[in-house]
Amino acid sequence: MRQDPACLTRLYEDLHDPLVRIARLYVRDRMVAEDIVADSFVRLHRAMPSLPEDTNLEGYLVTIVKNLSLNYLKSVAIHKRAEEEMSNHQVRLIREGIRSLSSLNPEELFASDVQRLVNEAMDRMDDLTRAVFMESRYSDKTYAEIARDLGISVRRVHTEMQKSLNLLRAALQDYLPAWLLTLYLDHIFR
């Protein structure tokens, strides 16, 4: 009688809904409960040939549903713990990134490299260009004052300043974007 497909069909018709309710009590999700019950019937079908004749099939099915529900809950718990650990790790990484970025001072980071490049560019300037540049940027003199001190025309001061700034832009063009370079040069030399 147990090998009769009608027996399994009758069990399914009689027990499907109550077993889904039992599984739902554990897993709290109707679709998961449905899957568990379906899997339980498949397992019963596979086990039936080896079960003793006096096995209570209803009790056997309830036990399968309970065990599959518990396995599902354990799996969910493991996944939740793994997600929490990953989330905690990500939060730690984000906090470290914020801390690093908060303590990062771009001026300090680039200042020594930029200053080295500026010094190298100034070393390549001829004496008059360097003198005009230094008087303008470091001594904060006007073009008229520089012209008077160096004995040249204001127009020549302007030309020498253009030469010096062009040399500096060329020296720093690969190091900083043009707009940042302009801001930085103004900050350093004002």
Total tally of structural domains belonging to the chain: 2
The CATH number of the domain holding residue 13 is: 1.10.1740.10
Whether pLDDT at 1 is above 60:
no
- Note the pLDDT tens digit of each residue in 20-62: 999 999 999 999 999 999 999 999 999 999 999 899 999 999 9
Closest to 69 in 3D by CA, of 44, 43, 37: 37
Average pLDDT over every residue of 163-189 = 68
Q: CA-CA distance, 42 to 78, in Å (whole number)?
A: 26
CA distances from 77 to 26, 30, 37, 67, 82 (A): 13, 18, 21, 15, 9
Residue carrying structure tokens 């720093």: 172
Q: Indicate the pTM of the whole model.
A: 0.51
Q: Based on the fold, state whether residues 75 and 116 are members of the same structural domain.
A: no
- Note the pLDDT tens digit of each residue in 72-103: 999 999 999 988 888 888 878 777 877 766 66
Domain coverage including residue 18: 5-102
Structure-token pair, residue 171 = 């020296």
- End of a domain among 83, 102, 121? 102
The CATH number of the domain holding residue 152 is: 1.10.10.10
- Note the pLDDT tens digit of each residue in 8-28: 899 999 999 999 999 999 999
